[in-house]
Amino acid sequence: MTVSPELYKQALARWATGVTIVTARSGDRVHGMTVSAFTEVSLDPPLVLVCADRSSNTLPLVREGGVFAVNVLARDQEALSNRFASKKEEWTRFEGLETDTGTTGAPLLRGAVANLDCRVADMHEHGDHVVLVGAVEEVRTADHDPLLYFRGAYGGIA
């Protein structure tokens, strides 16, 4: 039996996830994308996993620069998630946005629940995505409620 993309997406929509923005830098160029496919891999050494669509404009910068940051969004950052998810005016995502620079040089978004600054440890191409494994070099945390995504809608912890 073949699973249709529609049925597969419907099933995955029933998995509540946090919302992240993955940011990258290569030289003077920065880019970022909203990502829900993120998880921890290892505590020792600290490794994380992110799945990036092959067609994203952020992925080439990750490949070139060899670094990325995972910014776990706070409940009040829904508009930021939408900004980095939209393909409209994609190259203006960082305009007017205050960021910090991580140890690797990747942009860290202010106001996030957590920032994990990573150097690419490995990449695996599967299907229409690239699995990025990042070696975490810096962590920042803040005491905010997280932004959640479930059944195609944003929410928070009740």
Q: Write the pLDDT tens digit of every residue in 81-125.
A: 999 998 888 888 999 999 999 999 999 999 999 999 999 999 999
- Any residues with CB less than 8 A from the CB of 117 and at least 6 apart, and which? 67, 69, 102, 103, 104, 106, 108, 136, 137, 138, 139
pLDDT band at 41 (very low <50, low <70, confident <90, very high): very high
Nearest to 140 by CA among 97, 111, 119: 111
The model's pTM: 0.94
Give the number of other Cβ atoms within 10 Å of residue 61's Cβ. Answer: 22
Average pLDDT of span 43-62: 96
Could you give the domains of the chain?
Answer: 5-153 (2.30.110.10)
